[in-house]
Chain A
Amino acid sequence: MDSLCDEPREVRDDIVVACFYFDSTAQEEQGAASVLGALLKQVIGCYKWIPEEITDTFQRHKKFVGGRELEIPEIVKMLGIFSSPRHIYFCLDALDECAAPDRAKILLSLKEIVKMSPTTRLFLTGRPYVGHEVRKHFPEGTALISISPRNGDIIHYIHAKLVEDTNSGEMDEEIRERNCEEYSGNCL
């Protein structure tokens, strides 16, 4: 996600990146409407003011007793409207940690948004078993990259963590190298 945000503005100045990180321990709060609403909130963050379409809808919903929440079709419509003039990247991490019924609603909504705004890009991550759900909603438009640990990454990671370790001086250099090799070997 940061690699998208770091894109030089002289190359592209219309980029908006909205993210969401699913957490299996927070499924109750992370319902489909709240997740899509959180994406919308980030998209309109690039506007100087909250767009009139949203303030008007808020005022209208406020009139109901106790206020009325936004419904998914309303959020999808707004995401489609506000995504269109820009190059939007939606990054959703750990789809497998989202409750299955909410995941289905979210993927369906994202499909609608991509249809309304073809420049929209989705960056999704998840364990392999949710792959078929992603492909079901986007049968032709999905690039799939399978990740497995690489030796170089593991050694680099362990070295970086040892540098941060305040007691690392107590470890002999030879033992340190051997640990890195053994850990990386165990992971692969």
Chain B
Amino acid sequence: MLNNHDITDSDEQSKILTWLSPLEPHLGHNDLRTNRVKGVGEWLLSTKEFRSWKHGDGKSESQKAIIFFTGNLGVGKTYIR
């Protein structure tokens, strides 16, 4: 069980988070969500490789821990839902 500090000083909390990394990748993700066209590329999520990877629990060697989507520039890798 982890022990946690109750950080009431939000400035201190914000300093720690920026110290961990100044980057804010979730902002880019929100833009992608807005620009994604619903339904495009949905078939990828139905592949047996993706479903096996997603529901894997690390207990079986046949379940891959990593899924790598590869393709040339502009095929839509970034917009996979």
Contacting pair A145 B72 (CB below 8 A): no
Residues of B within 8 A of A161 (CB): 37
Contacting pair A128 B72 (CB below 8 A): yes
A residues 69-115 touching B (CB-CB < 8 Å): 69-70, 75, 87, 93-94, 114
A25 beta carbon closer than 8 Å to chain B:
no
B residues 6-52 touching A (CB-CB < 8 Å): 6-7, 13, 15-17, 19-26, 28-29, 32-33, 37-41, 43-45, 47, 49-50, 52
Total number of B residues with any Cβ neighbor in A under 8 Å = 57
Total number of A residues with any Cβ neighbor in B under 8 Å = 69
In the complex with contacts A54-B20, A70-B19, A125-B77 CB distance below 8 A = yes
Total inter-chain residue pairs, C-beta < 8 Å: 193
What is the CB-to-nearest-CB distance from B81 to chain A, in angstroms, rounded to a whole number? Answer: 5
Contacting pair B44 A58 (CB below 8 A): no
Residues of B within 8 A of A69 (CB): 19
Give 18 new A-B contacts, CB below 8 A, not counting A38-B21, A94-B78, A121-B53: A21-B25, A29-B22, A47-B4, A53-B2, A121-B65, A123-B53, A124-B68, A126-B70, A127-B73, A128-B71, A142-B66, A142-B68, A143-B52, A145-B49, A147-B69, A147-B75, A147-B76, A160-B40
- Using a CB–CB cutoff of 8 Å, the interface residues on chain B facing chain A are 2-7, 13, 15-17, 19-26, 28-29, 32-33, 37-41, 43-45, 47, 49-50, 52-54, 56-59, 61, 64-73, 75-78, 80-81
- Using a CB–CB cutoff of 8 Å, the interface residues on chain A facing chain B are 1-4, 19-21, 29-30, 33-38, 40-42, 44, 47-55, 58, 61, 67, 69-70, 75, 87, 93-94, 114, 118-128, 130-131, 134, 138, 140-150, 153, 156-157, 160-161
